[in-house]
A = this chain, B = another copy of it.
């Protein structure tokens, strides 16, 4: 019967035990399995728990068993809708399994990635879902030392640390470019923003497809984030650099939609004058007028799969498949 809680700190198991007149071990047993405790005590303990408003404390568990029941998720950005949907997929699996998600983002900066991973690890996360396929040596070291399962998402090409789940961005961009060419487009410009690994892969796919068809690639690039207004700006730039542009392929839907609206404002007919295609297939691309041509990517499923495989690994199963390559889908819409 240790000292009861005099300061108004939040109640501990000891406080509950004191109130009932047992040891905290008995209360602990009740919490894990009420039947381990005699019937009269069950109600008394339940009452005391309710009364004091007891809230469990995970810290001791993390300390002694290194089990936090939390999963770290590290993404480049939280505002990008792509990642919002990935998160939804992840949580749809983790939450029912009793895992808390610890979200962090690094704004596409390698240094920030290092520090975010260190932070997540310092909270004792049981597993990590990270994005991007390139990581610094320090990040790799931290991950190896931490000894927890790690899954990389978004891209399925680079050799994974342990396991990767994503799509083949290069192949997807190649396919859409070919598709546009088949539709008769010749002077297709690529709009790229936020030059991360995935964007570079897409550019590679676009350029290969153009060259393979004897066409000249032209790529507009910026390091800033994509947005509708950037799409509009790129359209202006494209028409200036190549007035007879007849196709635009964008690294994501935002740029495409921005470009499309800019065309509408400028009196350029889509798809008659210029064909426009996006990437990802967000809801809006499937509701707007005209429907946007796009590469539909399985973002939510990617999150789900990553979470499922992570849980499986946490249950002790080995990596079943080092690289899981998810299919993408071309959607013609009405804009090419």
Contacts and interface: CB of A to CB of B under 8 A. Distances in A.
Interface of A: 8-11, 52-53, 55-60, 62-63, 66, 68, 70, 78-79, 81, 84-85, 87-88, 91, 100-105, 118-124, 141-142, 144-147, 227-229, 232, 257-258, 261, 264-265, 283-284, 286-289
Most chain B CB neighbours (cut-off 10 Å) among A59, A227, A229, A257: A59
A11 B145 contact: yes
- Residue of A53, A118, A147 most packed against chain B (CB within 10 A): A53
B118 A100 contact: no
A6 to B, nearest CB: 14
A227 B283 CA distance: 8
A166 to B, nearest CB: 20
Contact of A229 (B8, B123, B287): B287
Contacts of A229: 283, 287
Given A53-B145, A261-B289, 13 more contacts: A55-B122, A59-B60, A68-B123, A79-B81, A81-B84, A91-B105, A100-B102, A100-B104, A100-B123, A123-B123, A228-B286, A228-B287, A264-B289
Nearest to A117: B55
A287 B257 contact: yes
Given A58-B122, A62-B59, A78 B84 contact: yes
Nearest to A300: B79
Contacts of A56: 118, 122
A104 B56 CA distance: 17
Contacts of A78: 84, 87-88, 91
27 contacts: A8-B147, A9-B66, A10-B146, A11-B145, A53-B141, A55-B118, A55-B121, A55-B145, A57-B63, A59-B62, A60-B63, A63-B63, A68-B123, A70-B123, A78-B91, A79-B84, A81-B81, A81-B84, A100-B119, A100-B123, A102-B103, A103-B103, A123-B123, A228-B283, A232-B287, A258-B287, A261-B288
Interface-central residue, A55, A84, A120, A288, by most chain B CB under 10 Å: A55
Task: Tell me whether chain A's interface is mostly helix, strand or loop, or mixed.
Answer: helix
A102 B71 CA distance: 11
Nearest to A54: B145
B124 A57 contact: yes
A63 to B, nearest CB: 4
A146 B258 CA distance: 47
Nearest to A51: B141
Contacts of A55: 118, 121-122, 142, 145-146
Given A287-B232, A289-B264, A52 B122 contact: no
Contact of A79 (B62, B88, B142): B88
A284 to B, nearest CB: 6
Contacts of A70: 123
A101 to B, nearest CB: 7
Q: Which 4 A-B pairs have the closest CB atoms?
A: A228-B287, A53-B145, A59-B62, A59-B63
